[in-house]
């Protein structure tokens, strides 16, 4: 199974792809969609959309996961970030790819064991879980962390569902 993890942002949207084979994880790809701060909001959203479309069409993931928005002190910034996040949900959904959402705390806890881990701790754990992976920045590391978190939770859900069917 191929999982696309997304860390949405207006200027930097991280993406990461991992493959699950049994209980083994492997790195497929990662990167950051970088957009100039000078661009207007509609153009930024369009560039995010086009870039994610190209990623989904190139890799055909089976599943996607997106980091939930945290609340900024500035409500306007939160609203704008929410629009980038909406595109991150929309693109895979338009291809019929199931999309899950995870809080930052849940992602960090599933990788590091602490919900308030620092970015560097998350990056080190991603490198440990995906040996040989060259990570293209913190936003890409965060996106890979989202994908890994999803692999943990989706595996657990599958096992529970299978057990429920057997016990009926």
How far is 61 from 51, CA to CA, in rounded Å?
15
57 is catalytic: no
7 is catalytic: yes
Tokens of 61: 């993931």
How far is 87 from 7, CA to CA, in rounded Å?
11
Q: Say what angle helices 138-166 and 119-129 make with each other, to 10 degrees.
A: 60
Any alpha helices (H) in 10-70, and if so which ranges? Answer: 41-59
Q: Which of 38, 40, 43, 67 is catalytic?
A: 67
142 is catalytic: no
Q: Which of 43, 57, 127, 139 is catalytic?
A: 139
Q: Which of 7, 40, 120, 142 is catalytic?
A: 7
Catalytic residues: 7, 67, 139
């Amino acid at each position: 199974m191929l999982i696309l993890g997304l860390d949405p942002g207006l200027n930097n949207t991280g993406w990461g792809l991992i493959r699950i084979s049994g209980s083994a994880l492997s790195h497929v790809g990662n990167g950051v969609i970088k957009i100039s701060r000078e661009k207007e909001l509609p153009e930024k959203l369009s560039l995010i959309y086009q870039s994610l479309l190209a990623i989904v069409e190139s890799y055909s993931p089976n599943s996607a996961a997106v980091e939930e928005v945290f609340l900024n002190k500035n409500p306007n910034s939160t609203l704008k970030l929410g629009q980038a996040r909406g595109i991150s949900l929309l693109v895979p959904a338009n291809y019929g790819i199931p999309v899950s959402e995870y809080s930052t705390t849940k992602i960090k806890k599933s990788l590091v064991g602490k919900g308030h881990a620092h970015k560097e701790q998350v990056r080190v754990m991603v490198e440990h879980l995906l040996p040989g992976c060259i990570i293209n920045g913190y936003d890409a590391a965060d996106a890979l962390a989202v994908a890994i978190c999803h692999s943990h939770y989706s595996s657990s859900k599958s096992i529970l569902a299978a057990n429920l069917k057997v016990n009926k």
